Amino acid sequence: MAQIKKANGLVDWLDQRLAVRSLTRVLMTEYWIPKNINFLWAMGVVLSVLFTLLVVSGIFLLMYYKPDVNYAFDSVNYTIMQEVAYGWLWRHMHGVAASAVFLVIYIHMFTGIYYGSYKKGREMIWISGMLLFVLFSAEAFSGYMLPWGQMSYWAAQVITNLFGGIPIIGDALVVWIRGDFAVADPTLTRFFMLHVLLLPLIIMLVIVIHFYSLRIPHVNNETGEEIDYDIEAEKYKAGDKKESKVIPFWPVFLSKDFFVVSIFMVFLFYLICFHYSFAIDPINFEPANPLKTPDHIYPEWYFLWSYEVLRGFFFDVGPIAAADIGLMAFGFANVAFFLLPFLDRSDVVAPAKERKKFNLWFWILIADMIVLTIYGKLPPTGANAWVGFFAAMVFIGLFISLPIITKGETKGGAR
């Protein structure tokens, strides 16, 4: 039992009971961040803010949304958009922020790849981050279904059908997931549950794990320098702030992050108020119709690259059907990034520009993913189908060749 004394203020009262002073020290004022970083290191905080925006706007949408095939479309497009005061704002915030989350996740991911922040003790940061990417993808997909427009319906139809490719149990699994022979009311209601409860709950848990995973290896820096945090922290605490290579998370690091967040928010709210249409497809303003597929369907921009890998394989190879090859390639594309720390055989932690071969690999990967994204939206006919096929092959080839590319790399040889 702790010695409880008469408190000399609220903070002291709380400190005696909850140790808030030590907690603040451990989590904030003595959590050390390297100095040699740039604005790309603010993306984690930007993502946290975006996730908060999604939760808040989601709460308000939840007050009027009805997860029933007969009411869902009107509850969104009539009630929320026309009757509820500022309903349009919550909906546009929710849609645009969901799209922006993926933009920032991709920046965050490729920053990590560029600076080699996924290896040498930082594997769990990378893996928990990739887990968040998958969870956000599931969250985006389940949310996309809710307005129950044509795109909602057919995206649900196509994505749930993917599970049909699993041998033996495939067909039964698809019916089980949907709760009906086709995407229907039971499907909408269960994906509503996933979207508003189960997935956000797991996301929050994994965010905590992701933050915690930074604790032991610390965040990487611009040059990949290995910093002795004990020595540098002592310098900072002794008042030698100029010489020390580190700064505390709060107030120094976060105050700069808030600046980046502010600029980002100006941009985001400009999109929310004036250019929201990229996040809300016009075809989705037509109510879901199970008996008519829209002429051309495509996923949101952030899924286009993996979608193009899926459909890039359009011809059979021997006894293996095209659809199964596509499905295997799609599976590989989704697992490949998880494996990055183990496919990179080099222990050099440095920005890509100092790792000759890896630098080339990195920029080919970026270019290839841009090609996949662009062609993912075009109709898959004629020459487009071949571009898609080759881009998908390059993507797979890049990951298979990474161990060979990185193997002979040493600190001196890489430069």
Partner 1 sequence: MAVEQNRRDFLGMAFGGVAAVGGVFALGAMKQTWDPLPSVQAAGFTTVDLSPMKPGEFRTIEWRKKPIFILKKDSNMEKNGNRDVVVDGSEYTVVIGLCTHLGCIPAWKPNEQKFHCACHGGDFDVSGVNTFGPPPRPMDIPPFKIEGSKLVLGEEGPEYDKLVGNA
Query: By the criterion CB under 8 A, which residues form the site for partner 1?
Result: 154, 157-158, 161-162, 164, 175-182, 184, 186, 190, 290-297, 311, 313-314, 321-324, 326, 379-381, 385
The Cα 322–Cα 388 span in angstroms is 14
For partner 1, the closer CB: 41 or 154? 154
Question: Residue 382 is encoded by which pair of tokens?
Answer: 């004629």
For partner 1, the closer CB: 42 or 391? 391
For partner 1, the closer CB: 159 or 371? 159
For partner 1, the closer CB: 182 or 263? 182
Question: Residue 67 is encoded by which pair of tokens?
Answer: 């997860």
Compute the Cα dihedral for 295, 300, 301, 305 and give only its sign.
negative
Considering the complex, what minimum distance in angstroms separates the CB of residue 329 from partner 1?
A: 12
Considering the complex, what minimum distance in angstroms separates the CB of residue 183 from partner 1?
A: 9
* DSSP H or E stretch at residue 106: helix 87-114
Reported in sequence order, the residue ranges of 259-394 that DSSP labels E, i.e. its strands, are: none
Considering the complex, what minimum distance in angstroms separates the CB of residue 384 from partner 1?
A: 9
Question: Residue 110 is encoded by which pair of tokens?
Answer: 């490729």
Considering the complex, what minimum distance in angstroms separates the CB of residue 29 from partner 1?
A: 43
Considering the complex, what minimum distance in angstroms separates the CB of residue 196 from partner 1?
A: 17
Torsion of CA 254, 257, 263, 264, to 10 degrees: -120
For partner 1, the closer CB: 166 or 182? 182
Long-range contacts at 407-415 (CB < 8 A, ≥ 24 apart): 407/345, 407/346, 409/345, 409/346, 409/348, 409/355, 409/357, 409/358, 410/346, 410/348, 411/348, 411/350, 414/346, 414/348, 414/350, 414/354, 414/355, 414/356, 414/358, 415/354, 415/355, 415/356
The Cα 323–Cα 331 span in angstroms is 12
Considering the complex, what minimum distance in angstroms separates the CB of residue 286 from partner 1?
A: 15
Considering the complex, what minimum distance in angstroms separates the CB of residue 321 from partner 1?
A: 4
Considering the complex, what minimum distance in angstroms separates the CB of residue 399 from partner 1?
A: 23
Task: Specify which residues 80 forms β-bridges with.
Answer: none
For partner 1, the closer CB: 3 or 381? 381
Compute the Cα dihedral for 309, 314, 318, 319 and give only its sign.
positive
For partner 1, the closer CB: 218 or 311? 311
* DSSP H or E stretch at residue 235: helix 229-237
For partner 1, the closer CB: 292 or 415? 292
Considering the complex, what minimum distance in angstroms separates the CB of residue 141 from partner 1?
A: 14
The Cα 31–Cα 212 span in angstroms is 12
End-to-end CA distance of the chain: 59
Neighbours of 114 (CB within 10 A): 18
For partner 1, the closer CB: 219 or 321? 321
